[in-house]
A and B are shown apart, each in its own frame.
Chain A
Amino acid sequence: MRVKVLSRNPDDYVRETKLDLQRVPRNYDPVLHPFEVPREYTRALNATKLERVFAKPFLSSLDGHRDGVNCMAKHPKSLSTVLSGACDGEVRIWNLTKRQGIRTLQAHEGFVRGMCTRFCGTSFFTVGDDKTVKQWKMESPAYGEEEEPIHTILGKTVYTGIDHHWKEAVFATCGQQVDIWDEQRISPMCSFTWGFDSISSVKFNPIETYLLGSCASDRNIVLYDMRQSTPLKKVILNMRTNTLCWNPMEAFIFTAANEDYNLYTFDMRFLSSPVMVHMDHVSAVLDVDYSPTGKEFVSASFDKSVRIFPVDKGHSREVYHTKRMQHVITVKWTSDSKYILCGSDEMNIRLWKANASEKLGVLAPREKAAMNYNQKLKEKFQHHPQIKRIARHRHLPKSIFCQIKEQRIMREARRQKELNRRKHSKPGSVPVVPEKKKHIVAVVQ
């Protein structure tokens, strides 16, 4: 009789070092592991609950300004540095790891209207109510030196915004017109005007760097081409756009923050209707900034909240608020796409996690695997009512909550009225206007 002897390769079960994990052979026979769906459902439910339990996005608040924070700028090379300008003309540079201000300078008389950093990170520019554009060194002055700007440009009118070119020594300001400046000169290289109204913000396209977008208070958004020194097109919306932001991963996409509580994502090639209307805020949206991954953006609103929207979704995935946070004027998404900074009226800059329940710090591989698995489960079972209910649940302050309810009622009433009107008039005389088209007044060549 032949006796079959078990023979195994020791490599399959012997550890090389004692620090290695023990290999646990598993039998994946589905018969041995029944009830896949219910078990995974339970896991998904637990993961969702845990996500909500651990959703503590607020990290810290940077206080030190003596007036409302009006503008912020990211450092292009250093993640831990952020700059902020206040309504009293003070500019502060912060160290985020220490959560301290590392430098303070009185940049302007009156508001600091806008600020931007140079692409190399060695200096930054500010514009203020005192009709000046100032360039500052990023480093603090040596002992005994006075805090002085490198350059000061005195303009004729108030500049309301500034942005720096992403690759060249060129910057753009806006006020009564959009000016393109060479850093070496004290007069603009060229100025764009189209109509006569104050322009509130100008932004360079980060990918196609010769493109600019601006928004004016006569409700329009204008695009410019720096090479051809001409405006390209103008789209007029129902209400004024406060600012816009280009998508850093998609050259032709930008998002505009509007006074009518909505944000509009446009494809610059097809301006007649926005790609997506993002609604959720209940007051004017004051600032918007894209995540560097280009998949999401964050918006700051007058309704004292910050919301995060996926680019391709009409509604926000997250809302951040605290009791003490007043009207949020400016918001930035850090360049590692992990944090969000918002500056608000009550003189504070707040640091939030971009992903509310994310665990900070180094994760063990197993932890990471578990996290990924949980994420996948949540995604898989997201349509199930219980999970959806838990995942969607957010606490809101009463004011916002009530306003949302009110808005809903108003919207419903408007819709009903339109329905009624359509019902009682000649067929075709009251056309159905899609939501995307509703907010566009005209596109001007």
Chain B
Amino acid sequence: AGPAFTAACAPRQGPEDGDRRHRQLLEAVSALSGRAGEKLVLSELLQPIRAQSALSSVKKQLSKVKQKKAVELPLSKEERERVVREAAYVKTSKDVGKWQPVVLQNRRAEQLVFPLKQEIAAVAPLERVVSAWKPRTPLEQEIFGLLHKTQQPVTDPLLTPQEKASLQAMSLEEARRRRAELQKARVLQSYYEAKARREKKIKSKKYHRVLKKSKRRKALKEFEQLQKSDPEAALAKLEELEQLRMEERMSLKHQNKGKWARSKAIMAKYDLEARKAMQEQLARNKELMQKVRVELPEEEPGDVPEEDLPPVTIPVGASRANPWMLGKPSDPAKEPEVQEAREDAAVPAAVESKEEEEEEEEVSEEEALLQEFEQKRHTEAVPDPQGDSSVHPLCDEEQPSAGIEPPPQAQEEILLSEQLDRVQTMEEVEALASKEPSEEQEQQPAAAGAKERASWQEKGKAGTRPAKKPTAKEKMIRLESVLSEKPQEIQCPSLPLVMEEEEGGIDQRGVISEAFAGDDVVADFHREKRKAEQDGKPQALNLVLPGWGEWGGSGLKPSAKKIKRFLIKPPPAPPRKDQHLPHVILSEQRNIHAAAHQVSELPFPFEKHQQFEQSIRTPVGPTWNTQRAFQKLTAPRVITRAGHIIQPLSAEDLASAASGAKPVLETAPKQREQPPRRPHKRAR
């Protein structure tokens, strides 16, 4: 085998040589393997070349080859397919797994709205809509024309051209200046406030009194000055005063009705100072209520000699603040004159004198009603006997024309007078109190007799009399109430009413007690409870058999000994739960009828019975919840719309879910579910 191998290992001869050698090698190998039943082993082949160092590299290579294992057989077709399938399945399930969060989210969602891709109604810009739209009907054209004429903004900025222009006109510097101004104003205001607060804190009464007095004086002086320098401003001031008066009339200030006044009223009996304080307050009230009188130039010519004004009839006390008080819409041309006249005449009247009010004016016929109304107001404020005479003729004129509804003030008057009448006849008819006041009201205007008028006069003469009269009759009247009522001069309708109410109350109580005379609910309840207790007690078991062990028969009783032996007493029942609850009977028996409607075991999703009970106990209905909460509580889990095709999920949903990190199926925005509501303006 030696030479053959060397030949095989030297392949660098010519091709023809190689062929030959190859053949030789094959022969040698076949000779080797030709040995019967023997295997050719590599080591055998290598043995002879051990000595030769030139072949060592080949030897190494061969030994390496020897270490390597044989290549495995290729897999069968089925196995190969299985491997491919496995790999594919793993890949695909991983792929599909990306839907897991979306699916979970949808399963847990409070509300799902299908179809998922809602076409959001694209809101076209208003300009486009408006430009596209054209008025067709005459009405539309008219409205359009109007809108166009006034250049009302139709589009979004909602600014008229003028506004826009003004906005543009304001430059940066101007804005800055303006801001600085505002800042300054704010600072000043805060200083002023601080000062006022500081002054307010001063407790000294004297200080305040002095302050007030000085203020008043100052105001007076100022006013006088103003009168001289700027008659217009003075008039405005006057008007302000008039305003003040109106406010006073409207409010309940200085009427001795407040807490302070009431406490003073209590003290008035004993304390002179308190009485004085009350008087003061009342005086203030009167003063404030005082009519700002306008002196007509004819009446006081001495005051205004330099100005000769045309005789203008001015409605008395027609305050310019209240247009309704003006009988006629006065001429704008005349007005300034009137103002001047008033300004000159009225100032002293407004400040102090009330005696000047007594004079009455001549008035035009058509304003008679208004005047009378005003006068009544006067008499209310200042009761003076002389004013009455002037009132009467007017009233006489008024009364016969009863067709016209009297103004509310007059109605009040009638009601009050009627009260007086009744008081006069009170001795005879106590029962009249039960009569309905409305009935009397109706009667009153009809009876426009002289008697009525007489009563009116009476009332005029004695202002406080109506208040005093009931005191004579009734001993229930308290001093405080009289004192407090005095300034208002209400003819005390309250006193008899109080009586009525009290009587009625007693009656009511009597009726109720009469109606439930037989019922003693408390005793009944106690009896019931006692019975329930008795029933609840365990009964003794009676095993006594008469006749056993002793004589029996009619009329014979088993002996005490026997009874004692055979009467089996049960163990005492546990203490009742309502033992210490006197108003309650607790029954521990199971109600079979209710049990049919009760849940016997804890339902599935709940883990504790408290949870379940809680879920049942919270009401969802509109009776117990506000509209909004009700809608929220009863929102359905799945909302579908009729006529809308619901497409299956798609890859875009997943992408959006991944990128936006929001649910693919959004929980419905609640407002979508609510019925369309009208927008509420909540301007306060």
A interface residues with partner B (beta carbon < 8 Å): 1-3, 9, 11, 16, 20, 28, 30, 33, 36-37, 39-41, 43, 76-77, 79, 166, 206-208, 211, 223, 225, 228, 230-233, 248-253, 268-269, 292-295, 335-338, 360, 365, 368-369, 372-373, 375-377, 380-381, 383-386, 445
Report the separation of the CA atoms of residues A225 and B90 in the bound assembly, to the nearest whole angstrom: 11
Please give me the residue from chain B that is nearest to A360 by CB atom. B642
Of residues 591 through 633 on chain B, the ones whose CB sits less than 8 Å from some CB of chain A are 596-600, 603, 612, 615-617, 619-626, 630-631, 633
Contact status of A269 and B252, CB under 8 A, knowing A28-B625, A248-B649, A373-B621: no
What are the 4 closest A-B residue pairs judged by CB atoms, nearest first? A365-B675, A248-B648, A292-B646, A206-B648
Q: Which residues of A contact B642 (CB under 8 A)?
A: 336, 338, 360
Contact A2 B252 (CB under 8 A): yes
Q: Closest CB of chain B to A262's CB: distance in Å?
A: 22
Q: Whole-angstrom distance between the alpha carbons of A249 and B105 in the complex?
A: 11
- 10 A-B pairs with CB atoms under 8 Å apart are A1-B252, A9-B684, A166-B648, A232-B92, A250-B106, A251-B96, A293-B114, A369-B675, A375-B634, A385-B596
In the complex, what residues of B have CB within 8 A of residue A1's CB?
252, 257-258
Shortest CB-to-CB span from B336 to chain A, Å, is: 39
- Taking A206-B648, A248-B649, A336-B644 as contacts, is the C-beta distance between A9 and B626 under 8 angstroms? no
C-alpha gap A9/B681 in the complex (Å)? 11
Q: CA separation between A293 and B682, bound complex, in Å?
A: 41
Q: Are A30 and B646 in contact (CB under 8 A)?
A: no
A380 contact set on B, CB distance < 8 A: 615-616, 620
Partner of B99 from the list A28, A207, A228, A384 (CB cut-off 8 Å) is A207
Q: What chain A residues lie within 8 Å of B683 (beta carbons)? A: 11
- Whether B89 and A232, one on each chain, are in contact in the complex, defined by CB atoms closer than 8 angstroms, is yes
Measured CA separation A363–B112 after assembly (Å): 20
User: Does B648 contact A232, Cβ atoms closer than 8 Å?
Assistant: no
Q: Which residue numbers of B lie inside 8 Å of A, CB to CB?
A: 81-82, 84-86, 88-89, 91-93, 95-97, 99-100, 103, 106, 112, 114, 252, 257-258, 596-600, 603, 612, 615-617, 619-626, 630-631, 633-636, 638, 640-651, 675, 678, 680-684
**A232–B88 contact, CB under 8 A?**
yes
Give the most central of B257, B626, B646, B684: most A CB within 10 Å. Answer: B646
Flag if B114 contacts A225 (CB, 8 Å): no
When A36-B617, A233-B89, A337-B646 are in contact, do A385 and B599 touch as well, CB less than 8 Å?
A: yes
Residues of A within 8 A of B89 (CB): 223, 232-233, 445
A164–B630 Cα distance when bound, in Å, is 45
A250 contacts B99, CB within 8 Å?
A: yes
Q: A232-B89, A372-B636 are in contact. Are A37 and B620 (CB under 8 A)?
A: no
From residue A444, how far is it (CB to closest CB) to chain B in Å? 9
B85 partner residues in chain A, CB cutoff 8 A: 230-233, 445
In the complex the two chains form, what is the Cα distance from A230 to B85 in whole Å? Answer: 6
Residue pair B646, A11 in contact (C-beta under 8 Å): no
* Separation of A68 and B114 alpha carbons in the complex (Å): 34
With CB as the reference atom, state the residue of chain A lying closest to B112.
Answer: A293
With A and B bound together, what is the CA distance between A369 and B629 in angstroms?
12
- Cβ–Cβ < 8 Å partners of A336 in chain B: 640-646
Known: A76-B645, A269-B93, A445-B86. 14 other contacts (CB 8 A): A33-B624, A41-B597, A211-B96, A230-B84, A231-B85, A232-B88, A232-B92, A250-B99, A269-B97, A335-B647, A373-B634, A375-B634, A384-B598, A386-B597
User: Distance (Å) between the CB of B285 and the closest chain A CB?
Assistant: 14
Closest to A269 in B: B93
Chain B hits for A294, CB < 8 A: 106
A-B contact count (CB 8 A): 168
Contact B99 A268 (CB under 8 A): no
Give chain A residues whose Cβ lies under 8 Å from the Cβ of B93.
252, 268-269
A59: shortest Cβ distance to chain B, in Å?
13
A376 (CB) vs chain B CBs: closest residue: B634
Give CA–CA (A269, B636) in the complex, Å: 32
Q: Which of B114, B258, B598, B620 contacts A40 (CB 8 A)?
A: B620
Chain B, residue nearest A383 (CB): B603
Cβ of B159 to closest chain A Cβ, rounded Å: 26
Report which of A28, A251, A384 forms a contact with B597, defined as CB distance below 8 A: A384
Q: Which of A28, A207, A211 contacts B624 (CB 8 A)?
A: A28
In the complex, which residues of chain A have a beta carbon less than 8 angstroms from the beta carbon of B600? Answer: 385
Nearest CB to that of A335 among chain B residues? B645
B642 to chain A, nearest CB (A): 6
Query: A211-B92, A228-B88, A232-B88 are contacts. A385–B99 as well, Cβ < 8 Å?
Result: no
Which of B252, B626, B650 sits near A3, CB closer than 8 Å? B252
Let me know if A373 and B630 touch, CB within 8 A.
yes
Point out the residues of chain A lying under 8 angstroms from B86, CB to CB: 445
Rounded to whole angstroms, the CA-CA distance of A36 and B633 in the bound complex is 15
Find the A residue at minimum CB distance from B638.
A293
The distance from the CB of A96 to the nearest CB of chain B, in whole angstroms, is 11
Closest CB of chain A to B641's CB: distance in Å?
7
Residue from A37, A208, A233, A252 in contact with B617 in the complex, judged by beta carbons closer than 8 Å? A37
CB pair A372 B650 closer than 8 Å? no
Report how far A390 CA is from B80 CA in the complex, Å: 59
A373's nearest neighbour on chain B, judged by CB, is B634
Q: Are A376 and B92 in contact (CB under 8 A)?
A: no
- How far in angstroms is the closest Cβ of chain B from A433? 23
CA distance A153 to B599 in the complex (A): 63
Q: Which residues of B contact A20 (CB under 8 A)?
A: 678
Residue of A nearest to B684 (CB): A9
Q: How far is the CA of A43 from the CA of B89 in the complex (A)?
A: 53
Residue numbers in A under 8 Å from B641 (CB-CB): 336
CA distance A220 to B634 in the complex (A): 44
Contact at A335–B646, with CB atoms within 8 Å?
yes
Chain A residue numbers with a CB within 8 Å of B625 are 28
Contact A16 B648 (CB under 8 A): no
- Measured between alpha carbons, how far is A113 from B512 in the docked complex, in Å? 87
**A169 → chain B closest CB, angstroms:** 17
Q: How far is the CA of A383 from the CA of B615 in the complex (A)?
A: 12
Residues of A within 8 A of B680 (CB): 11
Q: Which B residues touch A3, using CB under 8 A?
A: 252
A77 touches B645 (CB 8 A): yes
Complex Cα gap A344–B299 (Å): 112
Measured between beta carbons, the chain B residues less than 8 angstroms from A383 are 599, 603, 612
Pick the contact of A207: B646, B648, B681 (CB < 8 A).
Answer: B648
Q: How far apart sit A375 and B91, CA to CA, in the bound complex (Å)?
A: 43
Instruction: Compute how far the CA of A326 lies from the CA of B556 in the bound complex, rounded to whole angstroms.
Output: 83
CA distance A74 to B556 in the complex (A): 96
- Chain B nearest CB, measured from A34 CB (Å): 10
Q: Is the CB of B114 within 8 A of A337?
A: yes
Q: State whether B620 touches A252 (Cβ < 8 A).
A: no
B640 engages A252 (CB within 8 Å):
no
Q: Are B646 and A250 in contact (CB under 8 A)?
A: no
In the complex with contacts A369-B634, A373-B621, A9-B597 CB distance below 8 A: no
The residue on B at minimum CB distance from A338 is B642
| B636-A375 in contact (CB<8A) | yes
Q: Complex: how many Å from CA A268 to CA B91?
A: 12
Name, among B91, B103, B252, B630, the residue most crowded by chain A CB atoms within 10 Å (CB to CB).
Answer: B103
Residues in B with CB closer than 8 Å to A360 are 642
Closest to A16 in B: B678
Within the assembled complex, what's the spacing in Å between the Cα atoms of A84 and B625?
Answer: 50
